[in-house]
């Protein structure tokens, strides 16, 4: 397992470096792959699938996430060349052909040469494009952490992760969209070993985002009418307003102690309006079990403590 683990860390660091150099929002495709990667890392042991194989499969998704990230950056460069910098098109095409040849010649392999070639294209052409979308990040997007030594989450953390995964699926179904920043929040918490502590709050955030889909300015009018109807009752409206107040009370510059208390209040405040919404649509998430192992499903009762290590 040691070699697979080192390969994973090496690729993760390369991805992190590229994100710092060519700043952009995580594309949906990359976010999807990062979540699939984390699914593998969160698996408990199963017959016929040892830790090395589990990490190898996770590395495959990380590799695709890295490619998707670089290719979206390349797309930005290509767009600007074809629109306003045609003098660079010939050289750009030659460099891209060389990079793609490296990629296609080693499909299924580690692809280090192809990654380096794509990064070299970006390093050469981004300054020529004067693009503001791909400037170096002022700080790292990912807090650099250490890959958990056991490469394994506790059963309690796995169960809560599955709870979040189902909520994320529901959010994607309601919004017909994925939310890369939300997925990245979970992935980063895994690498910094804060997932057990952070998951209750991330779960609350996700529930809040589900509720918010019915009240966003850009939501269709029919969705807004549904949201108003769900919380028309005075008691339900009171719980919804309490949730909004708890959400708005959290600010970026809050002291750590105050932020902890505010997050705990939001975790409590979101439950009633979320339950009201689910009851209105007759949705019971327990009817949709996610199984990461035969012995570990969301039907099992979560341990009372949320403080175990990842």
Q: Give yes or no for residue 278 having a pLDDT over 70.
A: yes
> 103-142 pLDDT, tens per residue?
888 776 778 899 999 999 998 888 887 666 677 765 445 4
At residue 8 the predicted structure's pLDDT band, cuts being 50, 70 and 90, is confident
Identify the CA nearest to 118 among candidates 66, 79, 60, 83. 66
- Total-model pTM: 0.78
Q: Which two tokens stand for residue 159?
A: 């169960």
Residue 56: partners with Cβ closer than 8 Å, 6 or more residues away: 4
Which of 22-36, 73-87, 149-163, 184-198 is the least confident region? Answer: 149-163
Phi-psi region of 258 (alpha: psi -120 to 50; beta: other; left: phi over 0): alpha
Which of 59-68, 130-139, 209-218, 275-284 is the least confident region? Answer: 130-139
Write down the number of H helices and E strands in the chain.
12, 2
Q: What percent of the chain has pLDDT over 70?
A: 83
Radius of gyration over every alpha carbon of the chain, rounded to an integer in angstroms = 22
- Helix or strand run (H / E) with residue 291: strand 291-293
At residue 263 the predicted structure's pLDDT band, cuts being 50, 70 and 90, is very high
Q: Give yes or no for residue 14 having a pLDDT over 80.
A: yes
Q: Give yes or no for residue 184 having a pLDDT over 90.
A: no
Q: Is the dihedral of CA 296, 298, 300, 304 positive or negative?
A: positive
What is the arithmetic mean of pLDDT over 138-160?
62
Residue 40: partners with Cβ closer than 8 Å, 6 or more residues away: 54, 55, 57, 58, 61
What is the pLDDT, as a whole number, of residue 203?
97
User: Between the CA atoms of 235, 238, 240 and 244, what dihedral angle is there, to the nearest 10 degrees?
Assistant: -170
- Helix or strand run (H / E) with residue 77: helix 51-84
What is residue 292's DSSP assignment?
Answer: E
Q: Give yes or no for residue 239 having a pLDDT over 90.
A: yes
What is the pLDDT, as a whole number, of residue 140?
45
For the chain, the average pLDDT equals: 83
Beta carbons of 243 and 203 less than 8 angstroms apart: no
């Amino acid at each position: 397992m040691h070699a697979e683990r080192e390969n994973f860390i090496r690729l993760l660091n390369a991805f992190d470096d590229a994100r710092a150099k060519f700043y952009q929002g995580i594309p949906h495709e990359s976010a999807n792959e990062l979540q699939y990667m984390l699914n593998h890392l969160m698996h408990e042991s199963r017959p016929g699938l040892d830790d090395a194989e589990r990490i190898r499969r996770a590395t495959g998704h990380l590799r695709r996430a890295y490619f998707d990230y670089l290719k979206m950056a390349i797309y930005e460069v290509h767009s600007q060349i074809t629109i306003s910098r045609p003098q660079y098109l010939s050289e750009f095409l030659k460099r891209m052909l060389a990079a793609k040849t490296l990629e296609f010649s080693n499909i299924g392999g580690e692809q280090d040469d192809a990654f380096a070639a794509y990064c070299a294209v970006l390093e050469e052409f981004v300054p020529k494009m004067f693009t503001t979308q791909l400037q170096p990040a002022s700080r790292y997007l990912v807090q650099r952490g250490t890959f958990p030594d056991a490469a394994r989450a506790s059963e309690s953390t796995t169960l809560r992760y599955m709870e979040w995964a189902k909520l994320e699926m529901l959010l994607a179904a309601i919004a017909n969209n994925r939310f890369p920043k939300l997925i990245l929040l979970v992935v980063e918490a895994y690498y910094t070993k804060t997932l057990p502590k952070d998951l209750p709050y991330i779960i609350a955030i996700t529930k809040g985002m589900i509720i918010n889909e019915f009240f966003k300015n850009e939501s269709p009018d029919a969705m807004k009418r549904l949201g108003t109807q769900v919380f028309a009752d005075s008691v339900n409206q009171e719980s919804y307003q309490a949730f909004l107040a708890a959400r708005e009370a959290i600010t970026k510059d809050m002291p750590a102690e105050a932020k902890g208390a505010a997050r705990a209040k939001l975790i409590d405040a979101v439950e009633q309006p979320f339950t009201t919404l689910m009851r209105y649509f007759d949705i019971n998430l327990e009817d949709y079990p996610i199984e990461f192992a035969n012995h570990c499903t969301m039907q099992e009762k979560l341990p009372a403590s949320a403080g175990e290590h990842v």
